[in-house]
Amino acid sequence: MAHARSKLAGRVVIASAVVLTAVTMTLAVVGVGPRVTPLAGRDSVSIPSGELGRGEIRFFSYRDDGGKQIRFILGRDRTGKVQGAFDACQQCSQYRKGYTSSRGYLVCRICGNRYPLDSRAGVGSCAPIRLIVQDRGKTVTLETRQLKEHGALF
């Protein structure tokens, strides 16, 4: 009788471990994305430059005339220069997951590759797509035309 209970307890532990592993893997792949701040504007969108600290990465979205939400990233690199990128790359954009951030790095939510915000190179064909931004002292501005041109990524 004790042997049967021990065997049952062992199976419960193994089944629990399998379920916990499956849930963890699912959450890692699906995951909850970063907090996104919506911005609006006709020809350009701007944020106060003071909202971007050195090494900080923030996620934004812009809704085009057709209602498509286009996500992008702004942040200051290690030198303090404002950098921008789309929240997608050519290869992984088909999965519509984008990036998350960790300690000043962009992390692809599909393949896990990590990039500093000012990176110009990628691993394989996963690489951030640059976004041209203008740091005008008190504001950081970008043209909505750029966002619309890359709408197919989303």
Considering only 73-87, 117-131, 132-146, which range has the smallest mean pLDDT?
117-131
> Between these two residues, 72 and 93, which has the higher pLDDT value?
72
pLDDT for position 115: 85
Q: What is the pTM of this model?
A: 0.74
| Pairing relationship of beta strands 57-63 and 36-39 according to DSSP bridges | parallel
pLDDT for position 86: 92
**Local structure of 41: helix, strand or coil:** coil
37-64 per-position pLDDT tens digit: 999 999 999 999 999 988 889 999 999 9
> Could you tell me the pLDDT band of residue 154, with boundaries at 50, 70 and 90?
confident
Cα of first residue to Cα of last residue in the chain, in angstroms, is 60
pLDDT for position 133: 95
| 28 pLDDT above the threshold of 50 | no
CA separation for the pair 125, 149 (Å, rounded): 20
pLDDT for position 34: 83
Q: Write the CATH number of the domain with boundaries 36-153.
A: 2.102.10.10
Which runs of E-coded beta strand occur in the chain?
36-39, 44-48, 57-63, 69-76, 82-86, 99-102, 105-108, 114-116, 134-135, 139-143
| 18 pLDDT above the threshold of 60 | no
